[in-house]
Chains A and B, each alone.
Chain A
Amino acid sequence: MKNLNRRHFLRLTAAGSAGLFIPSKLPAVTSRTGRPETEKINMEYRTLGRTGIKVPVLSMGVMRADNPNLVKAAMRSGIVHFDTAHGYQEGKNELMLGKIFKDMPRESFVVATKIKVSARGGTFGKEAPEEFMEKFNISMQRLGLDYVDILYFHAIDSREATLYEPVLKVMQDLKKQGRTKNIGVSTHSNEPEVINAAVDSGVYDVVLTSYNFKQKHLPELNAAIDRAADAGLGVVAMKTMAGAKDINIPAALKWVFQNKNIHTAIPGFTAFDELDVCLACATNPQLTGDEKNYLAQADTAPSLYCQQCNSCTTQCVKHLPIPDLMRAYMYNYGYRYPAKAKTLVAELNLSGNPCASCTSCEVKCTNGFAVAEKVRDIARIAAVPQEFLA
């Protein structure tokens, strides 16, 4: 771990200056609406479970922000909770926050960071506790703080990992030492299992979970969130925009705010107008009629791409590998990667339009896809010379 130390120490001392631009003070400025920027927006506050920390429903996921002026604008607007991670931007994210926090009263902000440890084949190595501790120390140096408010065991996707004793012990020791006020677990997949394990552990104070209206397992996830909140854990929502570029941001964010057991959300806005939109949602979280309609339609509208549920595989009279073809369709039309689509289609050894001899299609896609149409569209790519695709 000495090498890790040296590498990150160097980054702390010299490298942080590159790419970051940190003003020395917060300028007193006026917003486009005419209100002073220092005026706090009136947002609903909720308590992060037994941590006792009161935060607005809107917090900031800093992961994509590379402009400290955006973080400062968020602070001036009343956002107090900032979420980063050891690995974001190879540490520059924590460095940026550290420089902003430097001149601010410690009690004026709540900061959470997240640490992931290496695993191979889903199993942590024997060096995991040491690695966790090493990364934590580096994160604290970058942030320039004596303590963080929440320290997450990051990117956990199973009960076993949630309860991994060697790392849990390190986190508990750090809490006893006052270097973190609270400990938590973050999860992007298999969230219900992780949240339930966090509750069962009796150790975790906070869970940070993916949460958006597009998730397929919302009943299980909501049940786990309710259980966590009832048990006194703070619940923080991330991935609130479902990872989509063309999403209705107010509808998606307000949908999250409707769940009172979500104590705050950390959307990762990267522009001032996005911040304004998020603030407007937090100020007035009631869904409008249009937003309710959008959410209702999204609930019933087919997904843009195949969900690989495989329900169709027994329906096609020609036994076509429809999920594979739909994956190729996604590569071509979704990811704009025709070479990969062609490779996949070629591996399937289909000839021309495999649906050509059928007069009707027996396949009833659970997402409502016109399967025959999409098969026809994508099967053509097999005939396109590779030179046109590369």
Chain B
Amino acid sequence: MKQLFYFFFLLPAVTVAAQTPAQLRACLPEVEGWTIAGKVESFTPENLYDRINGAADAFLSCNFAEMTQLSYNRINSDAYITIQCYRHDTPPDAYCIYAGERFPDAEFLDIGAEGYREPQMLNFLSGSVYVKMETHDKSAEANEALEKIARTLAAKIDAASTLPALLQRLPEANKVERSELYVSQSFLAHKFLHSAYMAQYRENGNEYRRFIIDAGTPDAAKQMIREYLAFAKQDAAPEEKELIVINDRYNGRVDVTWDGQYIIGRTYE
């Protein structure tokens, strides 16, 4: 019976836990000196442009589902805190936009899967939600309020949130700290490579990037490499765990191999 319901109401969506805008508002903590604003705004893929304009494209390309905007007002002041909760289809999708926007020199915090603070702002990732908080209030109280709200909200959205597990497969040696990214589609601007995790590396003055693609199955991984070879007009019969050098006319040399369902590789340009 349960399966029947899934078929009726779209399996991919129902497997992802998600708070409604009202539930997100209910997650907000009381903060002394501040009141939670009554207004809750909600934006869908159809109208995200109305709130963040052209920046919406980057969110949409990471499978954005809904954004809820909440706010606090400071008592006896015109200061306020804006909280934008961007829910994506999956935690990796949320990581996609979070990692794309984060800056590695920020002050990182143990909030949600990861969070960071800069003056008058605090962003964090929790489950499939990327939360961006901002205020124009430069006071220490505002800074404390940001952190209190973030810690409470992160725990209530997904207390068990972690960074995507595939990131652990990128070697630590020579990796540029917090350079990891997730590209959710058209990796290296090739549609057939779909999504990939990648990180930047620095070694003996040289820079390169390592990446890992989860093709789903070993056959799919092999097929993806075949497509890449066909694109590069290279004749080769790829074997598992064999290094293949692809001369990509757009991206330069790309080293790839596949191991089971995973394609791992390096780019140099």
Contact = CB atoms under 8 A, between A and B. Distances in A.
Given A19-B99, A272-B189, A384-B5, A338 B269 contact: no
Interface stretch (B25-33, B146-154, B215-223, B247-255): B247-255
B101 A89 contact: yes
A333 B14 CA distance: 12
Contacts of A31: 249
A381 B55 CA distance: 34
B interface bracket (residues with beta carbon within 8 Å of A): 35 or more
Interface string B25-50: 00000000000000000001110011
B170 to A, nearest CB: 14
Contacts of B44: 335
Interface in A263-277: 268, 270-273
Interface stretch (A4-12, A48-56, A248-256): A4-12
B12 A336 contact: yes
Nearest to A86: B55
Interface in A54-69: 61, 63-67, 69
Contacts of B250: 29, 69-70, 73, 272
Interface in B189-204: 189-191, 200
B66 A340 contact: yes
B119 A85 contact: no
A63 B57 contact: yes
Contacts, number: 180
A3 B191 contact: no
B102 to A, nearest CB: 8
Contacts of B233: 32
B249 A88 contact: no
A305 B44 CA distance: 13
Size bracket, chain A contacts: 35 or more
B50 A189 contact: yes
A29 B253 CA distance: 12
B181 A64 contact: no
Contacts of A390: 14, 17-18
B186 A63 contact: no
A27 interface: yes
A19 B179 CA distance: 5
A32 B250 CA distance: 10
A390 B18 CA distance: 6
A118 B44 CA distance: 21
Contacts of B80: 120
A66 B100 contact: yes
Contacts of A63: 54-55, 57-58
A321 interface: no
Contacts of A14: 103-105
A317 B207 CA distance: 69
B2 interface: yes
A92 interface: yes
Given A15-B105, A332-B10, A271 B53 contact: no
Nearest to B87: A337
A154 interface: yes
A151 interface: no
Given A17-B179, A270-B189, A271-B189, A11 B103 contact: yes
6 contacts: A21-B200, A27-B269, A154-B54, A155-B54, A271-B191, A273-B191
Given A87-B54, A188-B50, 5 more contacts: A15-B103, A18-B179, A64-B57, A67-B188, A384-B9
